[in-house]
Amino acid sequence: MRRRVVVTGMAGLCPLGSDWPTVRTGLRAGRSGVRVMREWDAYEGLDTRLGAPVLEFSVPSHYTRKKVRSMGRVALLATRATELALADAGLAGSSILTDGSTGIAYGSTSGSPPAMEIYAEAFYTKHSVKGIAGTDYLQFMSHTCAANLAQFFGITGRIVPTCSACTAGSQGIGYGYEAIVSGRQTVMVAGGAEELHAVNAAVFDIMFATSKRNHEPHRTPRPFDRQRDGLVVGEGAGTLVLEELDHARARGARIYAEVAGFGTNGDGTHITNPDVRGMQTVMELALKDAGLTAGAVGYVNAHGTATESGDIAESLATHRVFGDRAPISSLKSYLGHTLGAAGALEAWITILMMREDWFAPTLNLEDPDPRCAPLDYVRGEPRGLRVDHVMSNNFAFGGVNTSLIFTRWPGD
């Protein structure tokens, strides 16, 4: 019999805040987390000056130096979000974290950029190893979040680093779900994180994919809008505690939602250009895994980056699956594109909106691009809506696609 997987703990740190009440208030008020990053003036040729930072984060005083010396900001964000999520699940300090029953599926686009700078400057500019600390590599290694979480919390189950850029967080949740469904683990700490740095903005700036509205940060990004001019990079961390249903019930855990389905695939066509067919297929895979028809899904959380090719392709793929009946909106219009954290933060927020029977509109969507498919775009005001199933989609460079389906828990 297939094991069922539920969400028993969640937490996020994002540009709108570090707790759900604050984030909820920001979403309902149409508040943007985008800021002008004047420190980026130092980089010649970088056109965008827009980012979405987590403003209120500081390292908690109870984090010892020994625990954090191997962490850059990205791992610190991941650790704090996970600490809050485990407490929310009632599992902080539990023996299940250390007895092999709990694993980790967590990712980011990369490790901490400042630590990479130290290595690069020493090797390629100074041709020396002087000034490099033994912990610098640990801060920028690709699996720094997953590895540091295991060490910090003493987790001894499987570790699945998901370093797939914009699908890192959603693959973390999906692979965590699969580890429990298959009976390999009872609990999985799942999610993703990202650290804001000019180098992340530069990746997209060089490809002419960033917003240049430096004088009006509150007006961008504009997913699906005719006047969009590109994405804005952000940062944050989101953690979901996934648990096998019988185990959660036995300990009397609060259940937020059920993870009903997951799909992931590759386009196999182009490393950066989005593929409509691949996006369509991944949504269909998630529906099949959940045993649901498209008509059962009441809301779609879009990847919605506000790039021309991405918005158009995603809208066409979504229309092929749902037609014009499923309401859709993009949280990146508030948070910016938080890259490795996006899938986890968007899942966290989407689940909580479903529980509260409302969904945020896409901020700044005033005039839908006629080249996008005619979807039911949520815009203007939050939409009151009670649904039983929601889908959250993410797509990444390399042609990596993900789709997650969450189901309302009975009684909510």
Are 213 and 49 in contact, with CB atoms under 8 Å apart? no
Of 302, 325, 299, the C-alpha closest to 407 is: 299
Give the number of other CB atoms < 10 A from CB of residue 288.
Answer: 12
Q: Which of 14, 145, 163, 166 is catalytic?
A: 166
- The answer, yes or no, to whether the previous bond of 370 is cis (omega within 30 of 0) is no
Catalytic residue flag (residue 337):
yes
Please tell me the distance from the alpha carbon of residue 160 to that of residue 12, in angstroms, as a whole number. Answer: 20
Strand, coil or helix: 119: helix
Of 151, 162, 54, the C-alpha closest to 97 is: 151
Burial (CB < 10 A; 0-12, 13-18, 19+), residue 4, is middle
Q: Which of 143, 197, 303, 389 is catalytic?
A: 303
Phi then psi for residue 286, to 5 deg, are -65, -40
- With vertex at residue 338, the alpha carbon angle to CA 38 and CA 301, rounded to the nearest 5 degrees, is 135
Separation in Å, CA 271 to CA 87, 149, 317, 342, 400: 39, 30, 18, 20, 9
Partnered with residue 190 across adjacent β-strands are 105, 240
Query: Alpha helices of 101-189 — where are they, by DSSP H?
Result: 113-120, 136-140, 144-153, 168-181
Are 327 and 300 in contact, with CB atoms under 8 Å apart? yes
Give the number of other CB atoms < 10 A from CB of residue 36.
Answer: 16
Burial (CB < 10 A; 0-12, 13-18, 19+), residue 155, is buried
Of 19, 6, 82, the C-alpha closest to 406 is: 6
Strand, coil or helix: 391: strand
Are 105 and 172 in contact, with CB atoms under 8 Å apart? yes
Are 366 and 272 in contact, with CB atoms under 8 Å apart? no
Dihedral sign, Cα of residue 250, residue 102, residue 343, residue 278: negative
Please tell me the distance from the alpha carbon of residue 366 to that of residue 387, in angstroms, as a whole number. Answer: 25
Which positions are catalytic?
166, 303, 337
